[in-house]
């Protein structure tokens, strides 16, 4: 280090999206390296509505590696953090910041400590893949800070070691995580199948479902499925490889009818292997089941499916509508069955609120005036489930990681490297 002063702080801020799998990842063949038992495919969600922002900083004044998540300091001792830090440091290159008069050589990185601040623009506990966006952002930001030459795909193999699905957040659009064959995991990485402009009709509505149950973590859940389910191996070896090929073709052709059928079937099969685990794992609850029934009934009443549903390791529904028109009809149905429990519609439908406007929903009276969906043919007045959904997020497929060059967006103070 040949530097004019020892008080400098060098920072990089990045923003990374979350993603939702349409062909699911469930089960590791290597717990430490996080190598999966099958390929998976995801859609990246628009970071305007769901993303992680991370600032990473380096300074000779830092005494140790430290991290703050949503303003609260957390420990970096977990293996998943240590793996990512070690892998990224091992690829660090010379960095020079002439303006600040800072020069860091490849060798210096091993001696310098890091400060990391990360912030999710959505509730961490809501089961919305915050760890995927988080580890992708950590690795991406550190890669930029340390002038790492590896491309996104190679970075994804590092992010994978933090959280498996994080590898799929290094790209926008549709992304495939190739399981790979190597024991060291070097070929278990993400590739982009299509960017976010390829199929930009799609609209995504997430129903954040209220839950009273304590959920099984996906890490321990997966382990128990691998150890006890007699159906998982059949899924991983015989079912998923065919589905991956089908889904790649579906995405290429923007074939929504097939996309809907396969996405729903694969979500259900993932939850089926969870149920086939001992003790059984239930991520979906009665509200999740009701949302599925509403969508299935509607899809079957139309010539072609209008919406696909998929559920991760929790009760929240991710609903993918074929276009804005279908999304407006979907929002009408969802609000009909799940009206808000307070008068605050503005915090009940968040994200891209224009979808609700398209559906003619501008206030509570519009929700109350919604007629039952036409597919309910029996004249039994349908039950409503006020309070069973916490809120809806309207979004769409989105772009991959970006750097935020405006220092005002940094989460760390440029002077002392502490959270702002």
Binding site for a second copy (CB under 8 A): 212-213, 228, 230-231, 234-235, 238-239, 261, 264-265, 268-269, 271-273, 275-280, 282, 285-286, 289, 292-293, 296, 300, 383
| Comparison of 383 and 408: residue with beta carbon closer to a second copy | 383
Strands 10-17 and 51-59: antiparallel
Rounded to the nearest whole angstrom, what is the least distance from the CB of residue 231 to a second copy in the complex?
A: 5
Rounded to the nearest whole angstrom, what is the least distance from the CB of residue 289 to a second copy in the complex?
A: 5
Q: Locate 345 and state its tokens.
A: 């519609």
236 close to 37: Cβ distance less than 8 angstroms: yes
Question: Angle 122-125-130 (CA atoms, 0-180°, nearest 5)?
Answer: 60
Strands 307-310 and 317-321: antiparallel
| Comparison of 272 and 403: residue with beta carbon closer to a second copy | 272
DSSP symbols for 174-215 = EEEEE--S-TT-TT-EEEEEE-TTTTTT-EEEEEEE---SPP
| Comparison of 300 and 377: residue with beta carbon closer to a second copy | 300
340 close to 297: Cβ distance less than 8 angstroms: no
If phi over 0 gives left and psi between -120 and 50 gives alpha, with beta otherwise, what is residue 16?
A: beta
| Comparison of 268 and 413: residue with beta carbon closer to a second copy | 268
* Measured distance CA(26)–CA(313) in Å, rounded: 10
Rounded to the nearest whole angstrom, what is the least distance from the CB of residue 299 to a second copy in the complex?
A: 9
79 close to 32: Cβ distance less than 8 angstroms: yes
| Comparison of 62 and 385: residue with beta carbon closer to a second copy | 385
| Comparison of 120 and 229: residue with beta carbon closer to a second copy | 229
338 close to 388: Cβ distance less than 8 angstroms: yes
* Measured distance CA(91)–CA(292) in Å, rounded: 46
| Comparison of 61 and 293: residue with beta carbon closer to a second copy | 293
Q: How far is CA 79 from CA 32, 132, 186, in A?
A: 8, 16, 18
Rounded to the nearest whole angstrom, what is the least distance from the CB of residue 238 to a second copy in the complex?
A: 8
């Amino acid at each position: 280090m040949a530097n004019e002063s020892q008080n400098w702080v060098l920072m990089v801020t990045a923003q990374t999206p979350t993603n939702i799998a349409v062909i699911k990842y469930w089960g590791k063949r290597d717990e430490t390296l996080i190598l999966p038992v099958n390929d998976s495919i995801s859609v990246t969600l628009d970071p305007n509505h769901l993303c992680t922002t991370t600032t990473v900083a380096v300074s000779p004044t830092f005494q140790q590696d430290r991290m703050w998540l949503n303003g609260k300091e957390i420990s970096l001792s977990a293996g998943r953090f240590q793996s990512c830090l070690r892998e990224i440091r091992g690829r660090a290159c010379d960095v020079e910041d002439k303006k600040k008069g800072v020069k860091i050589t490849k060798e210096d990185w091993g001696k310098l400590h890091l400060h990391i601040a990360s912030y999710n623009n959505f509730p961490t506990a809501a089961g919305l893949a915050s760890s995927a966006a988080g580890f992708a952002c950590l690795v991406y930001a550190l890669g930029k800070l340390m002038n790492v030459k590896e491309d996104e795909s190679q970075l994804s193999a590092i992010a994978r070691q933090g959280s498996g699905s994080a590898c799929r957040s290094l790209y926008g659009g549709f992304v495939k995580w190739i399981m790979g064959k190597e024991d060291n995991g070097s070929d278990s990485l993400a590739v982009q199948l299509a960017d976010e402009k390829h199929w930009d009709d799609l609209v995504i509505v997430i129903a954040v479902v209220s839950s009273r149950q304590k959920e099984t973590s996906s890490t321990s859940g997966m382990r128990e499925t691998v150890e006890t389910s007699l159906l998982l191996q059949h899924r991983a070896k015989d079912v998923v490889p065919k589905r991956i090929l089908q889904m790649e073709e579906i995405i290429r052709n923007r074939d929504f009818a097939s996309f809907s059928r396969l996405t729903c079937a694969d979500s259900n099969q993932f939850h089926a292997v969870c149920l086939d685990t001992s003790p059984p794992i239930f991520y979906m609850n009665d509200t999740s089941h009701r949302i599925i029934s509403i969508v299935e009934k509607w899809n079957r009443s139309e010539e072609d499916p209008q919406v696909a549903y998929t559920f991760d390791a929790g009760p929240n529904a991710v609903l993918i509508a074929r276009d804005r028109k279908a999304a407006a009809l979907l929002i009408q149905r969802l609000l009909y069955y799940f009206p808000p429990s307070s008068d605050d519609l503005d915090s009940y439908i968040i994200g891209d609120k224009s979808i609700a406007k398209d559906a003619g929903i501008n206030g509570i009276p519009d929700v109350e005036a919604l007629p039952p969906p036409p597919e309910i043919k029996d004249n039994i007045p349908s039950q409503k489930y006020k309070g069973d959904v916490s809120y809806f997020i309207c979004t769409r497929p989105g772009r991959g990681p970006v750097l935020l060059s405006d220092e005002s967006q940094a989460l760390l103070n440029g002077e002392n490297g502490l959270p702002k």
